[in-house]
Amino acid sequence: YLSRHVDQTREVAGLETLYARAVDMLVSPRLREAFDLSQEPADTRARYGATHLGKSLLTCRRLVEAGVRFVQCQATYRLRPETGRTSNWDDHSVNSHIFNAYREKVPSLDQAMAALIDDLFTRGLDRNVLFLFCGEFGRTPRIAYQDASGRPGRDHWPSAMSVLASGGGFRMGQVIGATNPRGEHPIDRAMDSNCLLATLYHRFGINPQHEFHDHLGRPLKILPEGEVIGELVG
């Protein structure tokens, strides 16, 4: 009992330290300035675009420059009501007309991502900053009409997806792996999310095979499986 109590006390103390660090970060003038996009030149803001995503990715770059180690940004949009009700990439027909939605979403995505990648390389951040763009799975190779609206959409498809990576000291300018012509399943160099995580851990000096032990002494691997993607780090 005493041993468990000591362990729990240490955990609480550790949490208090994390809470204090979180508060310090939130009230930091440096962080507050990072969210102030008016400090950016007008031409820089224009390159990213005056869209929700453009402003978000510009904020991401400023947060990294302010010292934030990990930044997550959801690619959300404000679609017109007649296009659909969703603001993300959940492309079921019940949510939006996929073709009309893409006409609204893709141009701003292309502009904002290109501006961010260009900035990372121009500012010399590409060696130590990795930009990843991905979802949690792919979408059906065939268009579906699953609700009464008659709108086209695409449903969940875990058999194939793609991930865009830029920077991070990785080898750029290549496409790794391939699917069949319909995008149904891999036909060359099949990988999964564990391979991506193993590569990220490897790049940032974390052993993918490292184990933690719980209070019962049971080993818990930080990554149960997955091989480093050699084409990126070789």
Q: How far apart are CA 186 and CA 103, in angstroms?
A: 28
Asked if residue 8 is part of any domain, the answer here is: yes
Q: Residue 19 domain-assigned? A: yes
Mean pLDDT of 224-230: 93
pLDDT, averaged across the chain: 89
Model confidence at 6: pLDDT above 60: no
- The number of beta carbons lying within 10 Å of the beta carbon of residue 109 is 20
pLDDT band (50, 70, 90) for residue 193: very high
The residue range of the domain holding 5 is: 1-29
Q: What is the pLDDT of residues 120-129, one digit of tens each?
A: 999 999 999 9
The answer to whether residue 39 is domain-embedded is no
| Residue 95 belongs to some domain of the structure | no
Task: Examine residue 13 and state whether it is found in any structural domain, yes or no.
Answer: yes
Cβ–Cβ under 8 Å, residues 80 and 143:
no
pLDDT bracket for residue 217 (50, 70, 90): confident
**H helix count then E strand count, the chain:** 7, 8
- Higher pLDDT pick, 1 / 211: 211
Q: Quick one: tokens of 163?
A: 């991930």
Supply the pLDDT for residue 2: 40
Does residue 25 sit within a domain? yes
pLDDT at 151 over 70: yes
Q: Is residue 9 part of a domain?
A: yes
Write the DSSP symbol of residue 144.
B
Q: What is the pLDDT of residue 31?
A: 86
Q: Is residue 184 a contact partner of residue 160, using CB atoms and an 8 Å limit?
A: yes
More confident residue, 108 or 79: 108
Contacts of 43 (CB under 8 A, 6+ apart): none
Asked if the structure places residue 18 within a domain, the reply is yes
pLDDT tens sequence across 173-190? 999 999 999 999 999 999
Q: Mind listing the pLDDT tens digit for each residue in 50-71? A: 999 999 999 999 999 999 999 9
Confidence label for 7 from pLDDT (cuts 50, 70 and 90): low
Residue 224 has pLDDT above 90, yes or no: no
Q: Looking at the 3D structure of the chain, how many domains does it have?
A: 1
* Higher pLDDT among residues 223 and 8, named by residue: 223
